[in-house]
Structure 1
Amino acid sequence: GNLRGARLADHLAAEAVAAARDRLTGGAVGPGDDEIALTLADLPSRIDPTGAETAPADPSAELASCVGIEPVKREVVALVAEARAERMRREAGMPVAARPRHLVFTGNPGTGKTRVARALGRMYADLGTLSTGALVETDRADLVGEFPGETAANVRAAVERALGGVLLVRDVHVFATAEGARGREAVDVLLSAVRAHPDDLLVVLTGPEAELNGLLRSHSGLAATFPRVVRFPDLTDEELVEVFARRAAETGFALADGVLAKVGRLVRAAPRERGFGNARLVVDLLDRAVALQGRRVLADGVVDETESLDEILLADVPDSLGPTRDALPGDPVAAIQSLVGLEPVKEEVQALAAEARAEPMRRDAGMAGNAPARHMVFTGNPGTAKTTVARLIAAVYARLGLLSSGHLVEVTRADLVAEYVGQTSPRVRAAVERALGGVLFVDEAYTLAAGGGGDRQDFGPEAVAELLRLMEEHRADLVVIVAGYAEPMERFLSSNPGLRDRFPRVLRFPDYSDDELVAIFESMAGAAGFQLAGGVAEAVRRRIAAQPRGREFGNARFVRNLLDAAIARQAQRITGVAPGSGGGAEAVESTEVTLLRPEDLPDAPPEGGRTEKGPGHYL
């Protein structure tokens, strides 16, 4: 307690001195002078050791100004009333039993959890329940370390910074369930540190409702320390439009006729699924509108009397609430067609695109019918461009409006299946949430049904069951692609009655021919800036022909390794051309630096596995 009081006194003195220096002008007192006369006006109105900007004077007014979340506001008022009553009873000499005040805030992003935590901390500070009420925000990156002992030190340091105020821990379920021993250590150390400081600290855990409720049910220590759960509801369409209007006014922008009506249409058209961004979506929409407005007004470098830098017109508002698709490949279907080989796959993708284009045409014609399941199975050996095609299919569906973002999330069994009871489903949910709006690509998916071996209980089937449930829940904005060798994938589809129905389309990726692998080598070399001397293509063909073509053959990965080996040998050759000239690099012709010769190829075929540098375009 004395140490913390000394820190607060030091901080108070530093704040007062800084204010006095700002007040004194004219050079009479400079930053280096030894004596500064302090006045009462130099003392800060409240202590904030984090150095954050001063919040509005009345935290109750700040809470009331939050759009929507009326049940949350009532809950906070009740919490403050309880704290005030405890203080009055204590002042009256009544015994007051110590009760944990720590809270759990559940709800989707953008519902005001951080803002409410900040306001509550300041209210508690006004009552004397907390000494400063300052907010310290943390998440997995701040708490979970990579080395032994690092996690415990990180958690204790975060608690120490937050003493006197509020420690907000975002998405505790992520590392508590998906980080193994390190995540469990973070939770255990957090509980220990919180219990060591019962009087001058408020800890708030935030995250999705289902995940946090599941975590509390599975961890009795957490449930006892965090007995109160405050649920933050999604904002209504009207409230989201109000958030847009308020934020525009706060940032000094006027809204032309029709802007709010368009925002309302975009909000109503947005899918309301788990993870819905709420206020974040409309704030992002405003940021994009401001950027487009600036481009429009300053396109000719002149702002004339008909243009205004502080007015947003209807034309400035983007046509989609979610992320813009301008960053997607220009023509993903054409990109797939440009890949070497894979003719059967290209035909399937053309058919998929045609089906997707036909759906809105049929709806416009008044035809009834349900959208087909778009989840797929990719079978084939390594290095046959399964991941590349999955990424391009995501872009195709985004271009056609079937997915909101078109990104790809790659996972394996290690990302989905945990070691202990109750940890697998949260991992699967976390992976699906990252993939919403795009494609979840599950590589070597057959390992989910393969079993863990020995006497260990295997949670692979639990991962499959949870994945199937979430696929149905998010069918409007998620495509799942499972991939692996043909025969194991066939057994995988037979391991669960729901799998074959959920994955009706199977794309088979054939091995590349020798000619196709030579063409891929030439393409990869060209993309890396190299030219091939005469005889290189023939030498590559001989290396490929000498490589056994078993199930483990790496296809394009083998070629990538061959190219990497050739580049490494070429580096040795060109840097050893002129001995005695400082390594010889300066004495080499620039054309030789970019040229691969037959002697640069390794004498023996390289291994066909994955390279450390990561996959290339065909992997």
Structure 2
Amino acid sequence: MARSPALDVVALCRPGGDRRLFDANPALVRAFEVARTRDFREDDYTELFRRAAARRGAAVAREVAARAGALLAATPPLLNLRGARLVEHLANQATANARARLAAALQTEPPRRTAADADPANPAPAAGTPAGSRPGPVLEVVAADLPQRLIPGRAAERDPHAELAALAGIEPVKREVAALVAEAKAARLRREAGMAVASRPRHLVFAGSPGTGKGKVAGILGRIFAEVGALSTGHLVEVDRADLLGEYTSESALKMRRAVERALGGVLLVRGAHALAQVEPVRGRELVGALLTAVQTHSDDLVVVLTGPEAELNGLLRSHEELAAYFPKTVRFPDLTDDELVEVFARKAAESGFALAAGVLEKVRALVQAAPRDRGLVNARLMNHLLDRAVAMQGRRVLEDGVVDEHESLDEILLADVPDSLVPGREAVSDDPLVQIDRLVGLAAVKQEVAALVAEARAEQVRRDAGVPIAFPTRHMVFTGNPGTAKTTIARLIAAVYAQLGLLSSGHLVEATRADLVAEYIGQTAHRVRTVVERALGGVLFIDEAYTLAGTGGDQRDFGHEAVAELLRLMEEHRSDLVVIVAGYGTEMERFLASNPGLASRFPKRLHFPDYSVDELLAIFELMADQAGFTLADGVLPQVRARLAAEPRGASFGNARMVRNLLDAAIARQAQRITAAADAKPGIKMDDAEVRMLRTEDLPPGPREVGRGGHGPYI
């Protein structure tokens, strides 16, 4: 510039770019005249749209242009599609729609001949107009030519201030946001007045339970910051650990940089940020280091928001003091009250266009009041899911017969449409689960333990009703025993009992094994564990052969340890509405609990399931045969008893599972016997009693009977 004085240089930058350039080279900035532009307002957009349409040969009425201006002002930018570029984008769409509408009208309604067309004294066409032609109809953009959404898949946003005020509850959060916005406005006014304003970190910690509006408020705050000039766009980018964790060394830093680049000018929301430190040390340090670099490098046009439980986030920041310095502010999101949750349900229904019949909100309130209240309750998210299920049930009810008559309405939710539980997937228990437990064969010691658990839970409720402060106890359990000893059955019935007592919101059972929890590649295991736990929320997660998660031989490629770490975190986070039961052989489960320092303390309840006696197995055989509709001929039970008594009792002894296999084999052999008899006497109906009868010849040969009579052809 000094060598070429005649050269005119125009430098373009985002808001705050001149300050960053001044910090790097003050002399260079003094060589420029700084001109500051402002974002377009709604009236600016109105005039710009009118001019853009005119350049395309289209007229626009004043009210249509104003409607276009409102649409443009409410549409958030998408990358570089913003401002005047957004106006041109809308003008292209609207004029194209207008031309298509006009062309369709001309095809369906040909131009009518008028008196002027037939008048010989009609003036000649203007100069330059082809002979015999008439001026065509004027192209005009009407309201119907404007799209409902300017950018496909993105709804026009409302006033962020009104949207924040409309959120149910979280009044302390609203006050915190108002203070943050006031601080940003004051900083802008001081800079415009020429005052030196020290750069202060604006990154935030949002602490609270899931479903308390942290993501919603982060998006609103970004748009308000954009209004006051604290951010250039204010858009929201959401990521979690699965989005940032790489499969190999240095990939995590690359993923973090890409997320930051997408969020520049707006807000980067890191969900469950406390989980960044709960991976193996090398990758954990890499993730935290990449986050620290991001907040250090982009302090002027980026706000990073970390979300998660307060205690865990505090642990993350205390262990990384340099990172904590950039997150000086923590905004605490309280759980919603019962009234606020009901209000969320009512508002969501109204926004979706549904009316609520009498009694609906009372039922929703009863469901909310019966749900455990701690970090396991998912707050507003739970109400959204409940409304979705109610709408689905309403649709099935109304359209069941394929006809919507005058007594039915597609926009009204009745009391019968509201589910009976807050969480889907609960398996109906046709009888009292405690009665079902008592009916089980054997298991006397297990039944006593379950009765003690139930008594303890009921006592807690009595104490709570009496005003005694009660902490949420850990109810996770360890089941030990050989296969076939009813561990899964007891787990399912315990889930139902806890739901009846109000300790779980649903009472369903989700079964999982190592294959459901452990992935083959780095970064995928935690996501699998979260998916399974989310399915089990409100009920019991039953992990069979849980000792396989500990891995063997210290293989670093085995991600079972990562599954255990993530499981422990989620167990603590959802302790009020989730029970985890791990099951397996006694010795192996002891080694599993010793493999991680946090495991033994998280599972205070231990239930051992002993092998069934021969008499108990015989009773189970009779019960299973009766439930399947079969009767037993004389001699069957003694032969079954002999078979059971001769079965070796090792670690692989199948107990009731072995009895089930024996009965299935007998039923299959009986099928061959009765069909052969029916084929031998065609046309003669077999006696129904014989069809239901199991005889001694239907029992399969015992393992010692197979091959009796010497060696076979192979030794």
The normalised TM-score by structure 1 is 0.63
- Go from structure 1 to structure 2 and tell me whether the alpha carbon gap of 1:103 and 1:10 turns closer, same or farther (over 3 Å shift): same
Q: Verify: 1:252 aligned to 2:353, yes or no.
A: yes
Q: Verify: 1:167 aligned to 2:167, yes or no.
A: no
**Alignment map for 1:422-433 (pairs within 5 Å):** none
Q: Verify: 1:324 aligned to 2:424, yes or no.
A: yes
| In 2: Cα distance, 1:511 partner to 1:478 partner | 30
Report SS of the residue matched to 1:178: coil
| In 2: Cα distance, 1:188 partner to 1:214 partner | 16
The corresponding residue for 1:294 is: 395
The corresponding residue for 1:508 is: 609
Paired AA for residue 609 in structure 2: R
- Contact conserved, 2:376 with 2:575, CA < 8 A, in 1? no
Structure 1 counterpart of 2:242, from 127, 136, 141:
141
Cα distance, 1:162 vs. partner?
Answer: 0.6
The corresponding residue for 1:602 is: none
| In 2: Cα distance, 1:28 partner to 1:291 partner | 37
- Go from structure 1 to structure 2 and tell me whether the alpha carbon gap of 1:87 and 1:327 turns closer, same or farther (over 3 Å shift): same
- Go from structure 1 to structure 2 and tell me whether the alpha carbon gap of 1:307 and 1:9 turns closer, same or farther (over 3 Å shift): closer
| In 2: Cα distance, 1:140 partner to 1:372 partner | 29
**Alignment map for 1:158-197 (pairs within 5 Å):** 158-178=259-279, 180-197=281-298
Report SS of the residue matched to 2:249: coil
Calculate percent identity across the aligned residue pairs. Answer: 59
- Go from structure 1 to structure 2 and tell me whether the alpha carbon gap of 1:148 and 1:18 turns closer, same or farther (over 3 Å shift): farther
**Alignment map for 1:342-421 (pairs within 5 Å):** 344-345=442-443, 348=446, 352=450, 376-380=477-481, 390=491, 393-394=494-495, 397-398=498-499, 403-406=504-507, 407-408=509-510
What CA deviation, in whole Å up to 9, does each residue of 1:431-466 have, x standing for no partner?
9998653335577889999xx99xxxxxx9xx99x9
Paired AA for residue 312 in structure 2: E
The corresponding residue for 2:175 is: 74
Gaps of 5+ in 2: 1-10, 16-76, 104-138, 519-528, 555-560, 625-645, 659-715
What CA deviation, in whole Å up to 9, does each residue of 1:346-386 have, x standing for no partner?
984698489969998xx99xxx9x99996544223579775
| In 2: Cα distance, 1:135 partner to 1:441 partner | 37
Cα distance, 1:292 vs. partner?
Answer: 2.0
Structure 1 counterpart of 2:581, from 450, 459, 481:
481
| In 1: Cα distance, 2:206 partner to 2:337 partner | 19
Structure 1 counterpart of 2:191, from 80, 87, 90:
90
| In 2: Cα distance, 1:377 partner to 1:209 partner | 29
| In 2: Cα distance, 1:494 partner to 1:149 partner | 33
- Go from structure 1 to structure 2 and tell me whether the alpha carbon gap of 1:326 and 1:266 turns closer, same or farther (over 3 Å shift): closer
Structure 1 counterpart of 2:318, from 217, 231, 244:
217
The corresponding residue for 2:95 is: 23
Using the TM superposition, name which of 185-194 and 165-174 deviates more.
185-194
Using the TM superposition, name which of 372-381 and 169-178 deviates more.
372-381
The corresponding residue for 1:270 is: 371
Paired AA for residue 92 in structure 2: A
What CA deviation, in whole Å up to 9, does each residue of 1:288-334 have, x standing for no partner?
222222222222222222222212222222233x2135456889989
Using the TM superposition, name which of 252-261 and 351-360 deviates more.
351-360
- Contact conserved, 2:268 with 2:302, CA < 8 A, in 1? yes
- Go from structure 1 to structure 2 and tell me whether the alpha carbon gap of 1:305 and 1:398 turns closer, same or farther (over 3 Å shift): same
Structure 2 counterpart of 1:52, from 133, 147, 154:
154
Q: Verify: 1:102 aligned to 2:174, yes or no.
A: no
| In 2: Cα distance, 1:429 partner to 1:295 partner | 31
- Go from structure 1 to structure 2 and tell me whether the alpha carbon gap of 1:185 and 1:388 turns closer, same or farther (over 3 Å shift): farther
- Go from structure 1 to structure 2 and tell me whether the alpha carbon gap of 1:478 and 1:276 turns closer, same or farther (over 3 Å shift): closer
- Contact conserved, 1:512 with 1:555, CA < 8 A, in 2? no
Cα distance, 1:493 vs. partner?
Answer: 9.7
What CA deviation, in whole Å up to 9, does each residue of 1:462-500 have, x standing for no partner?
x99x989x88x988644453545435767999999x989
The normalised TM-score by structure 2 is 0.55
- Contact conserved, 1:104 with 1:226, CA < 8 A, in 2? yes
Cα distance, 1:117 vs. partner?
Answer: 1.0
Q: Verify: 1:113 aligned to 2:214, yes or no.
A: yes
- Contact conserved, 2:371 with 2:505, CA < 8 A, in 1? no
Cα distance, 1:198 vs. partner?
Answer: 1.6
Paired AA for residue 154 in structure 2: A
Q: Verify: 1:132 aligned to 2:233, yes or no.
A: yes
Paired AA for residue 423 in structure 2: P
- Contact conserved, 1:409 with 1:434, CA < 8 A, in 2? no
**Alignment map for 1:450-599 (pairs within 5 Å):** 477-486=577-586, 503=604, 506-510=607-611
Cα distance, 1:119 vs. partner?
Answer: 1.3
Cα distance, 1:65 vs. partner?
Answer: 1.4
Cα distance, 1:181 vs. partner?
Answer: 2.9
Cα distance, 1:136 vs. partner?
Answer: 1.0
Q: Verify: 1:314 aligned to 2:386, yes or no.
A: no
What CA deviation, in whole Å up to 9, does each residue of 1:233-271 have, x standing for no partner?
111222222112211111111122222222222222222
| In 2: Cα distance, 1:398 partner to 1:191 partner | 44
Cα distance, 1:194 vs. partner?
Answer: 2.4
- Contact conserved, 1:76 with 1:120, CA < 8 A, in 2? yes
Paired AA for residue 329 in structure 2: R
Report SS of the residue matched to 1:155: helix
| In 1: Cα distance, 2:432 partner to 2:480 partner | 21
| In 1: Cα distance, 2:485 partner to 2:293 partner | 51
| In 1: Cα distance, 2:251 partner to 2:372 partner | 41
